[in-house]
Structure 1
Amino acid sequence: MANLAPSFVSSPSDSCRGSLRTSRISAIKLKVRETEQTHLNLGSSSRKKQGLRMNASKETPELMQGIRKDECKTAEQTEGYDSFSEMKQRFLTFKEKKYLGNLEFYRRLAKSQAPEFMVIACADSRVCPSVILGLEPGEAFMVRNVANLVPPFESGPSETNAALEFAVNSLKVKNILVSGHSCCGGIRALMSMENADGDNSSSFIKNWVIVGKNARLSTKEAASHLSFDQQCRHCEKESVNRSLLNLLTYPWIEEQVMRGNLSLHGGYYDFVDCTFEKWTLDYYKTISRGNKDMIAVKGRSFWS
Protein backbone atom coordinates (compact mmCIF):
# COMPACT_ATOMS: atom_id res chain seq x y z
CA MET A 1 0.00 0.00 0.00
CA ALA A 2 2.90 2.31 0.82
CA ASN A 3 4.28 1.87 -2.68
CA LEU A 4 0.90 2.38 -4.32
CA ALA A 5 0.28 5.83 -2.88
CA PRO A 6 3.16 7.63 -4.61
CA SER A 7 2.37 5.80 -7.85
CA PHE A 8 -1.34 6.77 -7.55
CA VAL A 9 -0.48 10.41 -6.93
CA SER A 10 2.27 10.85 -9.59
CA SER A 11 0.41 9.22 -12.43
CA PRO A 12 -2.56 11.68 -12.52
CA SER A 13 -0.12 14.59 -12.08
CA ASP A 14 1.85 13.60 -15.19
CA SER A 15 -1.38 13.13 -17.07
CA CYS A 16 -2.60 16.59 -16.00
CA ARG A 17 0.65 18.21 -17.06
CA GLY A 18 0.37 16.51 -20.43
CA SER A 19 -3.19 17.68 -20.79
CA LEU A 20 -2.21 21.22 -19.85
CA ARG A 21 0.58 21.25 -22.43
CA THR A 22 -1.84 19.94 -25.05
CA SER A 23 -4.38 22.59 -24.08
CA ARG A 24 -1.78 25.37 -24.24
CA ILE A 25 -0.60 24.23 -27.67
CA SER A 26 -4.20 24.06 -28.92
CA ALA A 27 -4.92 27.49 -27.50
CA ILE A 28 -1.80 28.94 -29.15
CA LYS A 29 -2.75 27.38 -32.49
CA LEU A 30 -6.29 28.74 -32.14
CA LYS A 31 -4.92 32.21 -31.31
CA VAL A 32 -2.65 32.09 -34.36
CA ARG A 33 -5.59 31.10 -36.58
CA GLU A 34 -7.72 33.89 -35.12
CA THR A 35 -4.92 36.40 -35.66
CA GLU A 36 -4.41 35.24 -39.24
CA GLN A 37 -8.15 35.44 -39.87
CA THR A 38 -8.22 38.93 -38.39
CA HIS A 39 -5.42 40.02 -40.69
CA LEU A 40 -7.26 38.46 -43.61
CA ASN A 41 -10.44 40.28 -42.66
CA LEU A 42 -8.60 43.55 -42.22
CA GLY A 43 -6.93 43.10 -45.54
CA SER A 44 -10.27 42.33 -47.18
CA SER A 45 -11.86 45.33 -45.50
CA SER A 46 -8.96 47.51 -46.53
CA ARG A 47 -9.30 46.29 -50.11
CA LYS A 48 -13.04 46.99 -50.00
CA LYS A 49 -12.45 50.50 -48.69
CA GLN A 50 -9.79 51.01 -51.30
CA GLY A 51 -12.26 49.80 -53.89
CA LEU A 52 -14.85 52.26 -52.59
CA ARG A 53 -12.32 55.06 -52.77
CA MET A 54 -11.45 54.02 -56.32
CA ASN A 55 -15.13 53.93 -57.25
CA ALA A 56 -15.67 57.35 -55.69
CA SER A 57 -12.71 58.68 -57.63
CA LYS A 58 -14.10 57.18 -60.83
CA GLU A 59 -17.46 58.86 -60.21
CA THR A 60 -15.93 62.36 -59.85
CA PRO A 61 -12.76 62.38 -61.98
CA GLU A 62 -13.24 66.05 -62.88
CA LEU A 63 -13.42 67.05 -59.24
CA MET A 64 -10.30 65.09 -58.28
CA GLN A 65 -8.46 66.37 -61.29
CA GLY A 66 -9.54 69.93 -60.51
CA ILE A 67 -8.27 69.65 -56.95
CA ARG A 68 -4.89 68.41 -58.09
CA LYS A 69 -4.63 71.17 -60.66
CA ASP A 70 -5.66 73.84 -58.17
CA GLU A 71 -3.01 72.64 -55.75
CA CYS A 72 -0.38 73.30 -58.38
CA LYS A 73 -1.62 76.80 -59.20
CA THR A 74 -0.11 79.89 -57.70
CA ALA A 75 -2.16 82.92 -56.72
CA GLU A 76 -1.00 84.70 -59.86
CA GLN A 77 -2.40 81.96 -62.06
CA THR A 78 -5.92 81.94 -60.61
CA GLU A 79 -8.80 83.05 -62.78
CA GLY A 80 -9.62 86.19 -60.77
CA TYR A 81 -6.07 87.48 -60.54
CA ASP A 82 -6.27 90.01 -63.39
CA SER A 83 -9.52 91.47 -62.04
CA PHE A 84 -8.09 91.96 -58.57
CA SER A 85 -4.90 93.36 -60.03
CA GLU A 86 -6.96 96.10 -61.67
CA MET A 87 -8.93 96.59 -58.45
CA LYS A 88 -5.66 97.01 -56.59
CA GLN A 89 -4.59 99.75 -59.00
CA ARG A 90 -7.92 101.51 -58.56
CA PHE A 91 -7.50 101.40 -54.80
CA LEU A 92 -3.97 102.78 -54.99
CA THR A 93 -5.19 105.55 -57.31
CA PHE A 94 -7.94 106.40 -54.81
CA LYS A 95 -5.40 106.47 -51.99
CA GLU A 96 -2.96 108.69 -53.86
CA LYS A 97 -5.40 111.16 -55.44
CA LYS A 98 -8.27 111.31 -52.94
CA TYR A 99 -7.28 109.88 -49.56
CA LEU A 100 -3.83 111.41 -49.20
CA GLY A 101 -4.99 114.59 -50.91
CA ASN A 102 -7.76 115.00 -48.28
CA LEU A 103 -6.07 113.39 -45.32
CA GLU A 104 -7.64 115.58 -42.63
CA PHE A 105 -11.12 114.91 -44.02
CA TYR A 106 -10.64 111.14 -43.89
CA ARG A 107 -9.13 111.35 -40.42
CA ARG A 108 -12.29 113.12 -39.23
CA LEU A 109 -14.41 110.39 -40.84
CA ALA A 110 -12.37 107.78 -38.98
CA LYS A 111 -13.56 109.27 -35.71
CA SER A 112 -17.29 109.63 -36.48
CA GLN A 113 -19.92 109.89 -39.17
CA ALA A 114 -22.85 112.28 -39.56
CA PRO A 115 -24.50 111.55 -42.91
CA GLU A 116 -27.41 113.69 -44.04
CA PHE A 117 -28.90 110.95 -46.20
CA MET A 118 -29.84 107.32 -45.93
CA VAL A 119 -30.17 105.63 -49.32
CA ILE A 120 -32.00 102.35 -49.89
CA ALA A 121 -31.07 101.09 -53.34
CA CYS A 122 -31.03 97.89 -55.35
CA ALA A 123 -28.10 95.48 -55.24
CA ASP A 124 -27.95 95.55 -59.05
CA SER A 125 -24.35 96.10 -60.18
CA ARG A 126 -25.42 98.75 -62.70
CA VAL A 127 -26.99 101.20 -60.27
CA CYS A 128 -24.41 102.12 -57.63
CA PRO A 129 -25.82 105.25 -55.90
CA SER A 130 -22.38 106.62 -55.06
CA VAL A 131 -21.49 106.69 -58.75
CA ILE A 132 -24.88 107.85 -60.08
CA LEU A 133 -25.53 110.53 -57.46
CA GLY A 134 -21.91 111.48 -56.79
CA LEU A 135 -22.09 110.61 -53.11
CA GLU A 136 -18.81 111.04 -51.28
CA PRO A 137 -17.68 109.07 -48.20
CA GLY A 138 -19.59 110.17 -45.12
CA GLU A 139 -22.53 111.66 -47.04
CA ALA A 140 -24.93 108.71 -47.12
CA PHE A 141 -25.62 105.71 -44.93
CA MET A 142 -26.50 103.07 -47.48
CA VAL A 143 -28.43 99.80 -47.71
CA ARG A 144 -28.65 97.78 -50.90
CA ASN A 145 -30.94 94.80 -51.31
CA VAL A 146 -32.74 93.00 -54.12
CA ALA A 147 -35.33 95.40 -55.65
CA ASN A 148 -34.65 98.18 -53.07
CA LEU A 149 -37.53 97.01 -50.85
CA VAL A 150 -38.48 98.18 -47.36
CA PRO A 151 -40.43 95.56 -45.40
CA PRO A 152 -43.20 96.82 -43.09
CA PHE A 153 -42.58 97.08 -39.36
CA GLU A 154 -44.69 94.02 -38.56
CA SER A 155 -42.51 91.77 -40.74
CA GLY A 156 -39.94 91.63 -37.97
CA PRO A 157 -36.16 92.05 -37.94
CA SER A 158 -34.16 92.23 -41.15
CA GLU A 159 -30.89 93.79 -42.24
CA THR A 160 -32.84 96.65 -43.85
CA ASN A 161 -34.83 97.73 -40.81
CA ALA A 162 -31.80 97.23 -38.58
CA ALA A 163 -30.02 99.77 -40.76
CA LEU A 164 -33.07 102.05 -40.62
CA GLU A 165 -33.06 101.94 -36.84
CA PHE A 166 -29.40 102.89 -36.65
CA ALA A 167 -29.63 105.60 -39.31
CA VAL A 168 -32.69 107.32 -37.82
CA ASN A 169 -32.17 106.83 -34.09
CA SER A 170 -28.39 107.00 -33.83
CA LEU A 171 -27.10 108.90 -36.87
CA LYS A 172 -30.13 111.23 -37.01
CA VAL A 173 -30.24 111.33 -40.81
CA LYS A 174 -32.44 114.07 -42.30
CA ASN A 175 -33.49 112.29 -45.48
CA ILE A 176 -34.28 108.75 -46.55
CA LEU A 177 -34.19 108.10 -50.29
CA VAL A 178 -35.63 104.86 -51.70
CA SER A 179 -34.23 104.57 -55.21
CA GLY A 180 -35.61 102.18 -57.83
CA HIS A 181 -34.33 101.63 -61.35
CA SER A 182 -35.20 100.39 -64.82
CA CYS A 183 -34.89 96.75 -65.90
CA CYS A 184 -34.97 95.53 -62.28
CA GLY A 185 -34.62 91.75 -62.07
CA GLY A 186 -36.10 91.65 -58.57
CA ILE A 187 -39.27 93.41 -59.70
CA ARG A 188 -39.46 91.14 -62.72
CA ALA A 189 -39.30 88.12 -60.39
CA LEU A 190 -42.08 89.66 -58.28
CA MET A 191 -44.30 90.27 -61.30
CA SER A 192 -43.65 86.72 -62.57
CA MET A 193 -45.03 85.08 -59.43
CA GLU A 194 -48.31 83.28 -60.07
CA ASN A 195 -49.58 83.55 -56.51
CA ALA A 196 -50.01 87.09 -55.21
CA ASP A 197 -49.24 85.89 -51.67
CA GLY A 198 -46.17 83.90 -52.64
CA ASP A 199 -45.46 80.53 -54.13
CA ASN A 200 -44.50 78.76 -50.89
CA SER A 201 -41.12 78.41 -52.52
CA SER A 202 -37.78 77.64 -50.93
CA SER A 203 -36.23 80.34 -53.12
CA PHE A 204 -34.69 83.12 -51.05
CA ILE A 205 -35.38 85.59 -53.85
CA LYS A 206 -39.10 84.81 -54.05
CA ASN A 207 -39.45 84.87 -50.29
CA TRP A 208 -37.81 88.30 -50.22
CA VAL A 209 -39.49 90.06 -53.16
CA ILE A 210 -42.93 89.07 -51.86
CA VAL A 211 -42.40 92.08 -49.57
CA GLY A 212 -43.53 94.06 -52.62
CA LYS A 213 -46.73 92.08 -53.16
CA ASN A 214 -48.96 95.14 -52.69
CA ALA A 215 -47.10 96.93 -55.45
CA ARG A 216 -47.62 93.90 -57.65
CA LEU A 217 -51.35 93.76 -56.92
CA SER A 218 -51.90 97.46 -57.59
CA THR A 219 -49.87 97.20 -60.80
CA LYS A 220 -51.99 94.28 -61.99
CA GLU A 221 -55.12 96.35 -61.33
CA ALA A 222 -53.88 99.56 -62.94
CA ALA A 223 -51.81 98.23 -65.82
CA SER A 224 -53.32 94.86 -66.75
CA HIS A 225 -53.86 96.09 -70.33
CA LEU A 226 -50.14 96.78 -70.80
CA SER A 227 -47.41 94.38 -71.88
CA PHE A 228 -45.45 92.47 -69.25
CA ASP A 229 -42.39 94.70 -69.72
CA GLN A 230 -44.54 97.81 -69.28
CA GLN A 231 -46.14 96.32 -66.17
CA CYS A 232 -42.68 95.71 -64.73
CA ARG A 233 -41.72 99.34 -65.39
CA HIS A 234 -44.91 100.51 -63.67
CA CYS A 235 -44.20 98.25 -60.69
CA GLU A 236 -40.60 99.50 -60.42
CA LYS A 237 -41.98 102.93 -59.49
CA GLU A 238 -45.00 101.65 -57.57
CA SER A 239 -42.78 99.52 -55.33
CA VAL A 240 -40.82 102.65 -54.36
CA ASN A 241 -44.05 104.34 -53.19
CA ARG A 242 -45.07 101.21 -51.28
CA SER A 243 -41.69 101.22 -49.55
CA LEU A 244 -42.23 104.86 -48.57
CA LEU A 245 -45.57 103.87 -47.03
CA ASN A 246 -43.88 100.95 -45.28
CA LEU A 247 -41.40 103.39 -43.75
CA LEU A 248 -44.31 105.10 -41.97
CA THR A 249 -45.19 101.82 -40.23
CA TYR A 250 -42.07 102.25 -38.05
CA PRO A 251 -43.21 104.38 -35.07
CA TRP A 252 -39.88 106.12 -34.60
CA ILE A 253 -39.70 107.01 -38.30
CA GLU A 254 -43.23 108.41 -38.42
CA GLU A 255 -42.54 110.41 -35.26
CA GLN A 256 -39.49 112.08 -36.83
CA VAL A 257 -41.38 112.74 -40.08
CA MET A 258 -44.31 114.24 -38.16
CA ARG A 259 -41.94 116.53 -36.24
CA GLY A 260 -40.31 117.69 -39.45
CA ASN A 261 -36.92 116.19 -38.57
CA LEU A 262 -36.99 113.60 -41.34
CA SER A 263 -38.14 113.60 -44.97
CA LEU A 264 -38.92 110.53 -47.09
CA HIS A 265 -38.09 110.58 -50.80
CA GLY A 266 -38.56 108.33 -53.79
CA GLY A 267 -36.25 108.10 -56.78
CA TYR A 268 -36.13 106.24 -60.09
CA TYR A 269 -33.01 105.85 -62.21
CA ASP A 270 -33.50 104.89 -65.85
CA PHE A 271 -30.09 103.72 -67.01
CA VAL A 272 -31.29 103.16 -70.58
CA ASP A 273 -31.40 106.92 -71.24
CA CYS A 274 -29.64 108.05 -68.02
CA THR A 275 -32.42 110.05 -66.36
CA PHE A 276 -33.39 110.34 -62.71
CA GLU A 277 -36.84 111.11 -61.31
CA LYS A 278 -37.17 112.29 -57.73
CA TRP A 279 -40.17 113.02 -55.49
CA THR A 280 -40.97 113.57 -51.80
CA LEU A 281 -43.68 111.96 -49.71
CA ASP A 282 -46.26 114.51 -48.50
CA TYR A 283 -46.88 113.18 -45.00
CA TYR A 284 -49.92 115.22 -43.96
CA LYS A 285 -51.79 114.74 -47.24
CA THR A 286 -50.99 111.03 -47.15
CA ILE A 287 -52.39 110.47 -43.64
CA SER A 288 -55.38 112.75 -44.23
CA ARG A 289 -56.59 110.44 -46.99
CA GLY A 290 -57.16 107.73 -44.42
CA ASN A 291 -56.09 105.07 -46.92
CA LYS A 292 -52.91 103.18 -46.18
CA ASP A 293 -52.61 102.20 -49.85
CA MET A 294 -52.54 105.78 -51.15
CA ILE A 295 -49.56 108.09 -51.17
CA ALA A 296 -49.39 111.84 -51.76
CA VAL A 297 -46.19 113.30 -53.16
CA LYS A 298 -44.73 116.74 -53.65
CA GLY A 299 -41.66 118.33 -55.20
CA ARG A 300 -41.53 115.93 -58.14
CA SER A 301 -38.57 116.69 -60.41
CA PHE A 302 -36.98 115.11 -63.46
CA TRP A 303 -33.22 115.17 -63.97
CA SER A 304 -32.02 114.62 -67.50
Structure 2
Amino acid sequence: MPIKRIIEGLNEFHDTYFVSHREMFEQLSQGQSPEVLFITCSDSRIDPCLITQSQPGELFVVRNIGNIIPAYGASNSGEGAAIEYAVGALGIKDIVICGHSHCGAMRGLLQIGNLTQQMPLVYDWLRKHAESTRRLVLDNYEGCSSEKLLKIAIEQNVLTQIENLETYPIIRSKLHGGKVTLHAWIYEIETGEVFAYDGSIGQFKALENRPFPVMNPLICAHAE
Protein backbone atom coordinates (compact mmCIF):
# COMPACT_ATOMS: atom_id res chain seq x y z
CA MET A 1 0.00 0.00 0.00
CA PRO A 2 1.72 3.23 -1.15
CA ILE A 3 1.64 6.34 1.04
CA LYS A 4 -0.90 7.90 -1.31
CA ARG A 5 -3.42 5.23 -0.32
CA ILE A 6 -2.70 5.92 3.34
CA ILE A 7 -3.47 9.62 2.88
CA GLU A 8 -6.67 8.78 1.02
CA GLY A 9 -7.63 6.59 3.95
CA LEU A 10 -6.98 9.43 6.40
CA ASN A 11 -9.25 11.71 4.44
CA GLU A 12 -11.95 9.06 4.21
CA PHE A 13 -11.73 8.47 7.97
CA HIS A 14 -12.08 12.17 8.74
CA ASP A 15 -14.91 12.79 6.31
CA THR A 16 -17.00 9.71 7.12
CA TYR A 17 -16.21 7.69 10.26
CA PHE A 18 -15.07 10.62 12.37
CA VAL A 19 -18.04 12.77 11.42
CA SER A 20 -20.52 10.01 12.29
CA HIS A 21 -18.75 9.28 15.60
CA ARG A 22 -17.88 12.83 16.61
CA GLU A 23 -19.47 12.53 20.06
CA MET A 24 -17.35 9.46 20.89
CA PHE A 25 -14.14 11.25 19.92
CA GLU A 26 -15.12 14.31 21.94
CA GLN A 27 -15.51 12.06 24.98
CA LEU A 28 -12.15 10.39 24.25
CA SER A 29 -10.48 13.79 24.20
CA GLN A 30 -11.31 14.11 27.90
CA GLY A 31 -9.23 11.05 28.84
CA GLN A 32 -8.86 7.33 28.37
CA SER A 33 -10.14 4.36 30.38
CA PRO A 34 -9.18 1.21 28.43
CA GLU A 35 -10.35 -2.12 29.74
CA VAL A 36 -7.55 -4.40 28.51
CA LEU A 37 -3.78 -4.19 28.02
CA PHE A 38 -3.22 -6.03 24.73
CA ILE A 39 0.39 -7.04 24.01
CA THR A 40 1.01 -8.41 20.54
CA CYS A 41 3.41 -8.55 17.61
CA SER A 42 4.22 -5.74 15.20
CA ASP A 43 3.23 -8.01 12.30
CA SER A 44 1.11 -6.07 9.81
CA ARG A 45 -1.38 -8.95 9.52
CA ILE A 46 -2.63 -8.44 13.09
CA ASP A 47 -5.01 -5.66 14.03
CA PRO A 48 -5.97 -5.96 17.73
CA CYS A 49 -9.01 -3.71 17.42
CA LEU A 50 -10.22 -5.51 14.30
CA ILE A 51 -9.95 -9.06 15.64
CA THR A 52 -11.53 -8.10 18.97
CA GLN A 53 -14.03 -5.68 17.39
CA SER A 54 -13.00 -3.05 19.93
CA GLN A 55 -13.75 0.65 19.68
CA PRO A 56 -11.17 3.44 20.10
CA GLY A 57 -10.28 3.81 23.76
CA GLU A 58 -11.05 0.20 24.76
CA LEU A 59 -7.59 -1.37 24.27
CA PHE A 60 -4.22 -0.16 25.54
CA VAL A 61 -1.87 -1.73 22.99
CA VAL A 62 1.82 -2.63 23.17
CA ARG A 63 3.40 -4.02 20.00
CA ASN A 64 6.90 -5.17 19.14
CA ILE A 65 8.77 -7.88 17.24
CA GLY A 66 7.63 -11.22 18.67
CA ASN A 67 5.18 -9.86 21.30
CA ILE A 68 8.04 -9.89 23.80
CA ILE A 69 8.11 -8.51 27.33
CA PRO A 70 11.69 -8.21 28.68
CA ALA A 71 11.91 -9.49 32.24
CA TYR A 72 11.96 -6.77 34.89
CA GLY A 73 15.45 -5.29 35.16
CA ALA A 74 16.63 -6.85 31.90
CA SER A 75 16.44 -3.49 30.15
CA ASN A 76 14.93 -0.06 30.61
CA SER A 77 12.30 -0.84 28.03
CA GLY A 78 9.30 1.03 26.76
CA GLU A 79 7.36 -2.19 27.29
CA GLY A 80 7.97 -2.05 31.04
CA ALA A 81 6.95 1.61 31.21
CA ALA A 82 3.76 0.86 29.28
CA ILE A 83 2.90 -1.99 31.65
CA GLU A 84 3.41 0.18 34.73
CA TYR A 85 1.31 2.96 33.24
CA ALA A 86 -1.48 0.65 32.11
CA VAL A 87 -1.83 -1.06 35.47
CA GLY A 88 -0.75 1.72 37.83
CA ALA A 89 -2.31 4.78 36.21
CA LEU A 90 -5.16 3.36 34.13
CA GLY A 91 -6.19 0.57 36.48
CA ILE A 92 -6.31 -2.12 33.82
CA LYS A 93 -7.29 -5.51 35.25
CA ASP A 94 -6.91 -7.83 32.24
CA ILE A 95 -3.67 -8.31 30.32
CA VAL A 96 -3.49 -10.33 27.10
CA ILE A 97 -0.27 -11.51 25.47
CA CYS A 98 -1.25 -12.53 21.95
CA GLY A 99 1.06 -14.39 19.59
CA HIS A 100 0.09 -15.41 16.08
CA SER A 101 0.56 -18.11 13.48
CA HIS A 102 3.36 -17.83 10.89
CA CYS A 103 5.34 -15.50 13.15
CA GLY A 104 8.49 -14.30 11.40
CA ALA A 105 10.17 -13.46 14.70
CA MET A 106 9.76 -17.01 15.97
CA ARG A 107 10.89 -18.43 12.64
CA GLY A 108 13.98 -16.25 12.95
CA LEU A 109 14.49 -17.38 16.56
CA LEU A 110 14.73 -21.00 15.44
CA GLN A 111 17.40 -20.04 12.89
CA ILE A 112 18.93 -17.23 14.89
CA GLY A 113 22.45 -17.60 13.53
CA ASN A 114 21.22 -16.34 10.16
CA LEU A 115 20.29 -12.97 11.69
CA THR A 116 23.69 -11.93 13.03
CA GLN A 117 24.84 -10.16 9.87
CA GLN A 118 21.59 -9.20 8.17
CA MET A 119 19.59 -7.95 11.17
CA PRO A 120 21.88 -7.57 14.19
CA LEU A 121 19.33 -5.60 16.23
CA VAL A 122 16.68 -8.27 15.72
CA TYR A 123 19.29 -10.87 16.66
CA ASP A 124 20.09 -9.06 19.92
CA TRP A 125 16.42 -8.58 20.76
CA LEU A 126 15.52 -12.24 20.31
CA ARG A 127 18.72 -13.56 21.88
CA LYS A 128 18.25 -11.49 25.02
CA HIS A 129 14.54 -11.97 25.54
CA ALA A 130 13.49 -15.22 23.81
CA GLU A 131 16.48 -17.51 24.28
CA SER A 132 14.66 -19.62 26.90
CA THR A 133 11.93 -20.30 24.32
CA ARG A 134 14.50 -21.34 21.70
CA ARG A 135 16.32 -23.60 24.15
CA LEU A 136 13.11 -25.26 25.35
CA VAL A 137 11.92 -26.01 21.83
CA LEU A 138 15.22 -27.31 20.45
CA ASP A 139 16.02 -29.43 23.51
CA ASN A 140 12.60 -31.04 23.89
CA TYR A 141 11.11 -31.37 20.41
CA GLU A 142 13.90 -32.87 18.34
CA GLY A 143 12.63 -34.63 15.23
CA CYS A 144 9.58 -32.43 14.68
CA SER A 145 9.04 -30.82 11.30
CA SER A 146 10.01 -27.19 10.86
CA GLU A 147 6.36 -26.10 10.81
CA LYS A 148 5.59 -28.07 13.95
CA LEU A 149 8.60 -26.52 15.68
CA LEU A 150 7.40 -23.07 14.65
CA LYS A 151 3.93 -23.71 16.11
CA ILE A 152 5.47 -24.93 19.37
CA ALA A 153 7.82 -21.93 19.50
CA ILE A 154 4.93 -19.51 19.01
CA GLU A 155 2.98 -21.10 21.86
CA GLN A 156 5.95 -21.42 24.20
CA ASN A 157 7.03 -17.85 23.52
CA VAL A 158 3.67 -16.53 24.70
CA LEU A 159 4.00 -18.54 27.91
CA THR A 160 7.58 -17.33 28.36
CA GLN A 161 6.42 -13.74 28.06
CA ILE A 162 3.68 -14.37 30.62
CA GLU A 163 6.43 -15.52 33.00
CA ASN A 164 8.45 -12.39 32.20
CA LEU A 165 5.40 -10.24 32.84
CA GLU A 166 5.07 -11.78 36.28
CA THR A 167 8.55 -10.49 37.23
CA TYR A 168 7.29 -6.88 37.32
CA PRO A 169 6.71 -5.72 40.90
CA ILE A 170 3.42 -4.01 40.08
CA ILE A 171 2.15 -7.14 38.33
CA ARG A 172 3.18 -9.48 41.15
CA SER A 173 1.50 -7.22 43.67
CA LYS A 174 -1.74 -7.06 41.68
CA LEU A 175 -1.68 -10.81 41.03
CA HIS A 176 -1.24 -11.49 44.74
CA GLY A 177 -4.28 -9.36 45.51
CA GLY A 178 -6.34 -10.89 42.71
CA LYS A 179 -6.60 -7.52 40.98
CA VAL A 180 -5.06 -8.50 37.63
CA THR A 181 -5.76 -11.45 35.34
CA LEU A 182 -3.35 -12.67 32.65
CA HIS A 183 -4.37 -14.27 29.36
CA ALA A 184 -2.17 -16.14 26.85
CA TRP A 185 -3.60 -16.14 23.32
CA ILE A 186 -2.61 -17.26 19.83
CA TYR A 187 -4.31 -15.67 16.81
CA GLU A 188 -4.47 -17.93 13.75
CA ILE A 189 -4.28 -15.73 10.68
CA GLU A 190 -5.63 -18.26 8.19
CA THR A 191 -8.80 -19.10 10.13
CA GLY A 192 -9.43 -15.96 12.21
CA GLU A 193 -9.64 -18.12 15.34
CA VAL A 194 -8.05 -17.31 18.68
CA PHE A 195 -6.69 -20.03 20.94
CA ALA A 196 -6.24 -19.42 24.66
CA TYR A 197 -3.99 -21.28 27.06
CA ASP A 198 -6.08 -23.30 29.50
CA GLY A 199 -3.93 -23.89 32.55
CA SER A 200 -6.21 -26.67 33.81
CA ILE A 201 -5.19 -28.90 30.89
CA GLY A 202 -1.88 -27.26 29.95
CA GLN A 203 -2.91 -26.65 26.34
CA PHE A 204 -4.14 -23.94 24.00
CA LYS A 205 -7.78 -24.41 23.00
CA ALA A 206 -10.25 -22.46 20.91
CA LEU A 207 -11.51 -19.38 22.68
CA GLU A 208 -15.28 -19.30 22.30
CA ASN A 209 -17.64 -17.84 24.89
CA ARG A 210 -15.52 -17.72 28.04
CA PRO A 211 -11.95 -16.77 28.91
CA PHE A 212 -9.23 -19.15 30.08
CA PRO A 213 -7.05 -16.96 32.27
CA VAL A 214 -3.58 -18.23 33.06
CA MET A 215 -3.63 -19.94 36.45
CA ASN A 216 -2.14 -17.67 39.09
CA PRO A 217 0.16 -19.46 41.57
CA LEU A 218 0.26 -16.34 43.75
CA ILE A 219 -3.50 -16.53 44.28
CA CYS A 220 -3.25 -20.23 45.14
CA ALA A 221 -0.47 -19.61 47.63
CA HIS A 222 -2.39 -16.73 49.18
CA ALA A 223 -5.54 -18.86 49.46
CA GLU A 224 -3.67 -21.58 51.34
**Partner amino acid, structure 1, of 2:28:** L
How far does residue 94 in structure 1 lie from its aligned partner after superposition? 1.5
Partner of 1:80: 3
| Identity value in percent | 25
Q: Of the candidates 209, 214, 217, which is equivalent to residue 284 of structure 1? A: 217
Cα gap change, 1:81/1:138 in structure 2, threshold over 3 Å: closer, same or farther? closer
C-alpha distance in structure 2 between counterparts of 1:234 and 1:252, whole Å: 30
Query: Equivalences for 1:19-34 in 2 at 5 Å?
Result: none
Which of 109, 113, 126 pairs up with 1:190? 109
User: Greater helix share, 1 or 2?
Assistant: 1
SS state at 2:66 partner: helix
Which amino acid letter does the alignment assign opposite residue 52 of structure 2?
Answer: L
Say whether 1:140 aligns with 2:59. yes
How far is 1:222 from its partner? 2.5
1:1-304 superposed matches below 5 A: 80-97=3-20, 99-100=21-22, 103=23, 105-194=24-113, 203-210=120-127, 211-279=129-197, 280-284=213-217
Paired AA for residue 259 in structure 1: G
* Alpha-carbon offset, residue 81 of structure 1: 2.6
- TM-score using structure 2 length: 0.83
Unaligned runs of 5+ in 1: 1-78, 289-304
Q: How many residues align?
A: 204
* TM-score for both structures, normalised by structure 1: 0.62
- Structure number with larger C-alpha Rg: 1
RMSD: 2.3
CA contact 2:177–2:219 (8 Å) conserved in 1 = no
CA distance in 1, matches of 2:97, 2:18: 30
Alpha carbons of structure 1 residues 163 and 214: separation in structure 2 relative to 1, 3 Å: same
- 8 Å CA contact 1:240–1:267 kept in 2: the answer is yes
Amino acid in the other structure paired with 1:94: Y
Change (3 A) 1:286 1:260: closer
Q: Distance in 2 between matches of 1:134 and 1:121?
A: 16
Q: Letter of the aligned partner of 2:125 in structure 1?
A: W
The unaligned stretches of length 5 or more in structure 2 are 198-212
| Aligned equivalents of 1:256, 1:177: Cα separation in 2 | 15
